Amino acid sequence: MDAVWIKVFVLTLSECVAPAGKTVCQEQQLEMQFLAQAECEAALQQLLELKDQSASTIVNRDKSGCTPSARQADGFPSADAVKAASDAARWHEPNTTTADTAPVLPHAERLANLSTCEESLGIAPCKLGDIIVEAASSGKQVEVWRRSN
């Protein structure tokens, strides 16, 4: 096992959060790492849309974004070598298909490239206002998550 440098994209979200009922906020930064720039930008877009809905959070868009960087990591000659060195009881095989690695466009860009559902005669993907209507899941199981109170 050798130490290697890998390219990553660092998502930085700079925000100021005010506690309920307060007019002064506390600045904080969130950092996440992604291997693909498209994934980083999609996550950033989703976080920005989510934070825009909050009455107590202000995002500094000038300090937020996806920046290329590099990190040192352990290098392995194969997936089997990683599996052998792994301490985890569960092992997830790396996805080697390219179907799931298509670039993810930000919501606004994707929305601009879609025709309305009226224009496409209801053939998905299409848009209804600012909502993207996706095609059926083609037999895949859909997970529904609910918050327990």
pLDDT (tens, 9 = 90+) of the chain, 149 residues, equals: 678 899 999 999 999 988 877 778 888 899 999 999 999 999 999 999 988 888 888 999 999 999 999 999 888 888 888 888 877 667 777 665 555 455 666 778 888 888 888 888 878 888 888 888 877 655 555 565 665 65
Q: Is the pTM of this model over 0.75?
A: no
**What pLDDT, on a 0 to 100 scale, did the predictor assign at position 140?**
59
Task: Report helix, strand or coil for 138.
Answer: coil
Instruction: Spell out where the chain has E strands.
Output: 2-17, 26-34, 57-59, 65-75, 126-128, 131-133
**What pLDDT, on a 0 to 100 scale, did the predictor assign at position 82?**
81
Neighbouring residues of 20: CB distance < 8 A, sequence distance ≥ 6: 56
**What pLDDT, on a 0 to 100 scale, did the predictor assign at position 69?**
95
Single-letter amino acid, residue 24: V
**What pLDDT, on a 0 to 100 scale, did the predictor assign at position 120?**
84
